[in-house]
A = this chain, B = another copy of it.
Amino acid sequence: MTVGIRDVARAAGVSTATVSRALGRGPVSDALREQVEAAVRATGYRPNLSARRLRSQAARTIGLIVADIRNPFFTAVSRAVEDAAFASGMRVILCNTDEDPAREAMYLRLMEEERVTGVIFAPTRVTLESLDTCPLGFPVVLIDRSGPPGTHDSVVLDNVSAGAALVDHLVARGYARIGGLFGATSTTAQERQAGYAAAMRRHGLALSIRTVAPNAAAGEAEAMRWLADSDRPEALVLSNGLILMGTVRAARNLGLAIPGDLALAGFDNEPWTDLIEPGLTVIEQPVAEIGAQAMQRLFERIASPDQPVRKIILSGRLVVRGSTAQAKRPENRGPN
């Protein structure tokens, strides 16, 4: 059968308590510690983590709940979270919700049953609302998405400013009829939309907003409909990398030149955005820092549960590329 701590104890000629202490931290004489280590090697002993967790009531595990790991933003963040967790001897359980509140609820429940040390969570808007009311058995740090500071720490991008920055940039480049295509399920998209709207109003421009499920297929479909219109916008702001990709596809399908027929500015500085011709102007998010900061928030919250709620707001970086080159305004449109 499988070898347990009592087998090691027997092999080392000591009690199970001594083995446990020798393996963990505990006062054990050097002689016995060596005996135990030899016995562990001899028997090929592997501690049973379930038993260890049950007894010590410390899971040393954090849950990471995101919409979809295939979104490069989340894979990058999750990689940072995992590395930080691993460095602290913690394990990570990764969950995909597909932006589905039912799956979110189910995974939160699972996290309770696992008695996890904490959770890092990018919730949909609907779950975000219920999150403050029902207490969970662990601290939660929200990433990417969060409303007004509530009961949970969060680390997010300065989405309003970022959305506005894209508009300001487009206006500076001579565009006026600027549309916005935003994700429908997250506060993040809402905030970016708010930033877009505020900047447009500030510039005295008319809003033109559509929302869509935040994935490439939906983005492409909606962009196809929108851009087929005769009064399509000159420029489009896209609220995340997947919608941006869908829109690029739609433009190509329709034979629209970028930026000649349509300027594009979006979010998420993914590797492909500077490989296509022309490169895409985007807001780059500090993905690694978001992940690392989230872990740090979590650790601090665990260390001192009663400290005031913190909301960390990180700044994006505008990366200007060819997709927002100077507009050829109608009044001075050249031969080409």
Taken residue by residue from 156 to 196, chain A's Cβ proximity to chain B (1 for < 8 Å, 0 otherwise) reads as 00000000000000000000000000000000000000000
* Segment of A26-34, A35-43, A107-115, A230-238 engaged in the interface with chain B: A107-115
Please state the number of chain copies in the assembly: 2
Secondary structure call for the A interface? helix
Are A94 and B94 in contact (CB-based, < 8 A)? Answer: yes
Are B75 and A69 in contact (CB-based, < 8 A)? Answer: yes
Are B115 and A48 in contact (CB-based, < 8 A)? Answer: yes
Interface size grouping (class) on chain A: 35 or more
* Alpha-carbon distance between A11 and B112 when the two chains are bound, in angstroms: 21
Closest-by-CB residue of B relative to A280 is B275
Q: Which residues of A contact B (CB under 8 A)?
A: 2, 46-51, 53-54, 59, 68-70, 72, 75-76, 78-79, 82, 91-94, 96, 109-110, 112-115, 137, 216, 245, 248-249, 252, 271-272, 275-277
Other than A50-B50, A216-B271, give 15 A-B pairs with Cβ distance below 8 A.
A48-B115, A49-B115, A50-B51, A50-B54, A50-B114, A54-B54, A69-B75, A70-B72, A70-B75, A91-B93, A94-B94, A245-B271, A245-B272, A248-B275, A272-B276
